[in-house]
Structure formats: C-alpha cells, structure tokens
Amino acid sequence: MAKKVVGKMKLQIPAGQANPSPPVGPALGQRGINIMEFCKAFNAKTQDMEQGAPCPTEITYYGDKSFTMVIKTPPAAYFLKKAAGLKPVGKRNRPRGSEAPGRTVAGTVTVAQVREIAEAKMKDLNAVDIEGAMKTVIGSAKSMGIEVKG
C-alpha cells in the first residue's frame, strides 16, 4: 500500500551544510520531519558537490513521518557569478550582478563557459537540446548584467 502524502515543501540549502539551526530546523520540525535524519541524508547526498553551493531541494513528507527529497542542481545565477568572477558584496557577503542590467556590465563570460553551465543545468532545464539550454543561460546572464563574449 502506498504511503499517504501529507505535503511538499521547497528549501534552498547550501550543499553539505544542512544543520538543525534556522531556516532548516524550524521548517522541517513544524511538519513533523526528523531533522537530524534529514540533515544526515542531505549532507550525504551532496558530499560530492561543491561545498556551499545552493541546492534547491523538494521534500515530500508522508503520514508515517518519513520523507523523500529531490536535490536539483544549483541555480544558473550561481554558476554565472562564479564564472564571471564577481566579488562578494553587501550585508550577506554574496556576489551580486549589476545594479542596472542592460546599462552597466557586472562581469563577462565566454560562450564556452555558457555551454559548460548549460550542460551542468541540462537535466533541470526544460530545453530540448544544448542550444536551447544555452539561450536560457544567456537570458539569465543578461538579466544579471553579465555580458556574454563571442
């Protein structure tokens, strides 16, 4: 007999850094999910990824307090900022794109870097081929103020 799905939730957690402190602990605890079991499972699944890379995670939890999780690849913006070599700024000390995309350029990436990012993101994008995925990544770059050089 199939388990009864109680609900689904989405979190973005840094790879290999899930711990019971906020925001992960309270989000899981109020839904009756075993926090330590989730943290151990998440950290084990993401140990081969780059540490600290943000991982969008979809968690489905069931009536018997069990759960399943689907960990997706980090956002294209994360890869673009890294490829463009943007320096961390602001309160949270994170790299940011341009303040005025289209007018000012925050950084540049090459077409080869865009292809590499598109190949890494391909399973999570709704593109048919690599060229379509590259167009999606280029669109993200433009909206961040990152210029794509030939």
User: Per CATH, is 5-71 categorized as 3.30.1950.10?
Assistant: no
One of 1.10.10.250, 3.90.600.10, 1.10.10.10, 1.20.120.1200 is the CATH number of 76-149, namely: 1.10.10.250
Percent of the chain with pLDDT over 90: 31
Q: Dump pLDDT digits (tens) for 95-140.
A: 777 777 778 888 889 999 999 999 998 988 888 899 999 999 999 8
pLDDT exceeds cutoff 70 at 23: yes
Same fold, 5-71 and 76-149: no
Q: How far is CA 130 from CA 60, 108, 119, in A?
A: 30, 21, 7
**What's the alpha-carbon Rg for the chain, to the nearest Å?**
18
* The predicted structure's pLDDT at residue 132: 92
The whole-model pTM stands at 0.82
Gap between the Cα atoms of 40 and 1, Å rounded: 27
The residue type of 30 is Q
pLDDT band at 93 (very low <50, low <70, confident <90, very high): low
Q: Is 60 exceeded by the pLDDT of residue 37?
A: yes
Mean pLDDT to the nearest integer, 29-37 = 88
Domain ranges of the chain: 5-71, 76-149
pLDDT of 72: 92
User: What is the per-residue pLDDT for 96?
Assistant: 73
The answer, yes or no, to whether residue 1 has pLDDT greater than 60, is no
Per-residue model confidence (pLDDT) at position 100: 77
Angle at CA of residue 70, ends 68 and 71, nearest 5°: 135
State residue 91's pLDDT score.
Answer: 60
